[in-house]
Structure 1
Amino acid sequence: MFQETALSGQITFFQKLRSLDYILLFCLLILGLVSSLSMYSTEGGEVLYHTKSHVIRFIVFFSMMLIFSFVNLKLWHSIGYIFYFVVLCLLIWASLYGVKASGSQRWVDLYFINLQPSELMKVAIIMCFAKFYHRTQIHLVNSFKNIIVPMVVLILPILLVVSQPDLGTSILIGLSGLVVLWLSGVNVKYFIYSSLILLISLPFLISFLKPYQKLRILTFFNPDRDPLGVGYQIIQSKIAVGSGGLSGKGFLKGTQSYLDFLPEKHTDFIFTLFSEEHGFIGSVLLLFLYAIIIYRTAKIGASARSFFGKLFCYGFASSIFIYVTVNMSMVLGLLPIVGSPLPIMSYGGSSMLATMIGFSVVMSTKIYQKQIIA
């Protein structure tokens, strides 16, 4: 009976409620709790601005995610291009009239939040590509049109984000889009050719980087070349992670919180603080939590009958994996500092909003997993 109603789209509210992935919801709640406690620790054990703001945003956006989860998957499919176009317009607005901070012009002032459109584009590009390839027959995926059009759609926001300048986010947007292209069936040879062209062009492309971006790359190879300047952040980050040992120094006992050795620890370097306080064991448990979230998201995609839902879930799960990997590799000195937030853990309203919108579509796919989108 439930399958028949699901196929016809007539699902009652209680059936939708039962269809939610409660394991995924529980993991998101645990991650939200851990992130709130970590934010509390960054402020030295006091409930100050960042902690209050982070907790309020998590409660609001998590509640919004639950509400949007009940939206029919067909509606998410229908607004795929619209969502991309709106975020693209916001990117153009941010580049021309956006709020400036720390030498970058990335934010749009919406009065109640300074929105960073580039964070929303990470989800918008996945949704747009999932819609584009939804009706594309497998033998036409590698046609000239179906390769060129997505590449133009992907390059436009990348160029806008690079101009802000925000090289790190532009790379993550590019990776999110390329993952969906690969999942949709684009021939591997195109990725190989593109990688070869990129490698050959690398010396030429580096000449266009901003001076601080070049310094970050040089610092990655040798952090000790400027230990009190550009290399300070990554050196202190590795010291903090290493000092955590097996079980950590304990909650609210990290030197990074109380002695302020590490700047911006509440944003991209939140994992450093967490690892120092909870050690190797705590870090592994946090990774395990992310692994469950990624697995449950991919599992929802595997059970979906609509190719749009399947492609979005696989793409979003892959993107979360990329964001976590890049952030943790960055703070451990395995990658250059690129300004990649750790999903939900890092402070930032735009990043959390984008993440929760993504999980809204994932949950909608779970509820309407039997639904076939024409």
Structure 2
Amino acid sequence: MSAVLEKPPIWQRAAPMFQGFDGPLAFAVFLLACAGLLVMYSSGFDHGTRFRDHGRNMLIAGAIMFVVAQISPQRLMSLAVPLYTVGVALLVAVAVFGIAKKGARRWVNVGVVIQPSEIMKIAMPLMLAWWFQKREGHLRPLDYVMAVLLLVAPVGLIMKQPDLGTSLLVLAAGLSVIFFAGLSWKLILPPLAVGLVALVLLVVFESQLCAPGVSWGILHDYQQQRVCTLLDPTKDPLGKGFHIIQGMIAIGSGGLLGKGFMQGTQTHLEFIPERTTDFIFAAFSEEFGLVGNLCLIGAFVFLILRGLAIALEASTLFSRLLAGAITMIFFTYAFVNMGMVSGILPVVGVPLPFISYGGTAMVTLGLGLGILMSIAKAKRLVQT
């Protein structure tokens, strides 16, 4: 009788929580986390407690990933509308009585000070995936219009703060869902063509458009300055162009194999601004060179391909759209960060996933990974 009532060991009771975890995805994250800790130690060992705090943030993100992975996709779908509604309400609260710092109104006090725009990075793809799941099998053009409206409202509120970097991430996540839901290429190609023409005209007429006193109207002054600085950073090499110029110098000086671990002169002589956050890719490039960059990019490509594979294998439309959008968030983070540090995109304050210092971004990444793990687990458990 006692043998029947005896509880199994704790490891046997905990084992089901680990079943179905996606090994290749976990391996990709492990590689990126190791790279992040390595470069953070080099660039931040003399920067207060950055290295220790970065490790702590990684552990928190890992715990969040593990907890979220236990939530089924069906349960996640039920959270879509409430989370989106709360997120938009908080963005409105920011616009009305938010806390302003350094000329930006991005925070609100609800007992604790939070940045609601971070919620929308996850709430947006959840909401749109829910929207298309409910209309599976009988999608109409009006449904896509409504999806765009659901996307434009929070993106507009975030841009108003202003926060161009976060608004781009939320926009990319939402557009990914709409694209994966089957939006026709006939509707995608015209905006791309217009954007390409606008880019060419911007480069050709840079001297006139970026002349003193010229205002574009559609962008804030600081955003216009960032675009103009990207086009010609040498106009203000010790001011607005300093970040881009120093980032490119660090990347170029790394050469093929890099200067070696903790041997980066641009990094340790503090020429690279924000060397532990937005511009950490420059510090990594200087010390590990082109070979290190290719390895890092390879790890990101592996992570993205694995996320897309999870999306492709998902059993429901909601899971497929959500996994695809979360994966594209990782792609956008990495592409925009590397692009702005390399001088091919404007500086917009987007961190490099798992590499850059930042607690809020790490929590968002943990949530995203947890969702991917949840979708992968659901598929594997169905198969078994």
TM-score normalised by length of structure 1: 0.87
Distance in 1 (CA, whole Å) between partners of 2:96 and 2:260 is 46
Alpha-carbon spacing, 1:200–1:328, altered in 2? closer, same or farther (3 Å):
closer
Cα contact 1:301–1:309 (8 A) shared by 2 = yes
Equivalent in the alignment of 1:141 = 139
Alpha-carbon spacing, 1:26–1:279, altered in 2? closer, same or farther (3 Å):
same
Q: 1:15-48 CA deviation, whole Å, 9 max, x = no partner?
A: 55231012212321332232123222222x3472
3-state SS of the aligned residue for 2:379?
coil
Equivalent in the alignment of 2:375 = 365
Cα contact 1:327–1:340 (8 A) shared by 2 = yes
Alpha-carbon spacing, 1:197–1:363, altered in 2? closer, same or farther (3 Å):
same
Equivalent in the alignment of 1:342 = 352
Equivalent in the alignment of 1:26 = 27
Equivalent in the alignment of 1:227 = 237
Distance in 2 (CA, whole Å) between partners of 1:326 and 1:160 is 21
Decide which of 333, 337, 342 is 1:323's aligned counterpart: 333
Distance in 2 (CA, whole Å) between partners of 1:370 and 1:149 is 33
Shift of 1:229: 0.8
Q: 1:177-234 CA deviation, whole Å, 9 max, x = no partner?
A: 1111011012222333445677899999931322221111111111111111111110
Equivalent in the alignment of 2:269 = 259
Decide which of 303, 321, 341 is 2:313's aligned counterpart: 303
Alpha-carbon spacing, 1:371–1:184, altered in 2? closer, same or farther (3 Å):
farther
Q: Are residues 1:79 and 2:75 paired? A: no
Cα contact 1:71–1:364 (8 A) shared by 2 = yes
Alpha-carbon spacing, 1:99–1:78, altered in 2? closer, same or farther (3 Å):
same
Q: Are residues 1:124 and 2:134 paired? A: no
Decide which of 184, 204, 208 is 2:181's aligned counterpart: 184
| Structure 1: gaps spanning 5 or more residues | 1-11
Alpha-carbon spacing, 1:199–1:295, altered in 2? closer, same or farther (3 Å):
closer
Q: 1:32-78 CA deviation, whole Å, 9 max, x = no partner?
A: 232123222222x3472322322211101211211221112211011
Shift of 1:132: 0.9
Equivalent in the alignment of 2:165 = 168
Between 231-240 and 97-106, the greater mean CA deviation after superposition: 97-106
Q: 1:92 corresponds to which letter in structure 2?
A: V
Whichever of the two has the greater Rg, that structure is 2
Q: 1:141 corresponds to which letter in structure 2?
A: L
Q: 1:22 corresponds to which letter in structure 2?
A: G
Q: 2:145 corresponds to which letter in structure 1?
A: I
Equivalent in the alignment of 1:159 = 156
Shift of 1:289: 0.9
Shift of 1:357: 0.8
3-state SS of the aligned residue for 1:368?
helix
Q: 2:64 corresponds to which letter in structure 1?
A: M
Aligned-pair identity in percent equals 33
Cα contact 1:106–1:116 (8 A) shared by 2 = yes
Cα contact 2:264–2:283 (8 A) shared by 1 = yes
1:208-219 map, 5 Å: 208-219=218-229
Q: 1:123-173 CA deviation, whole Å, 9 max, x = no partner?
A: 2211111111113234x33421x0222111111111111111112321222
Q: 1:259-286 CA deviation, whole Å, 9 max, x = no partner?
A: 1112212221111111111111111111
| Structure 2: gaps spanning 5 or more residues | 1-12, 203-208, 210-214
Cα contact 1:73–1:364 (8 A) shared by 2 = yes
Distance in 2 (CA, whole Å) between partners of 1:54 and 1:131 is 34
Q: How many residues align?
A: 357
Distance in 2 (CA, whole Å) between partners of 1:68 and 1:142 is 33
Alpha-carbon spacing, 1:292–1:197, altered in 2? closer, same or farther (3 Å):
closer
Shift of 1:102: 2.8
Alpha-carbon spacing, 1:196–1:246, altered in 2? closer, same or farther (3 Å):
closer
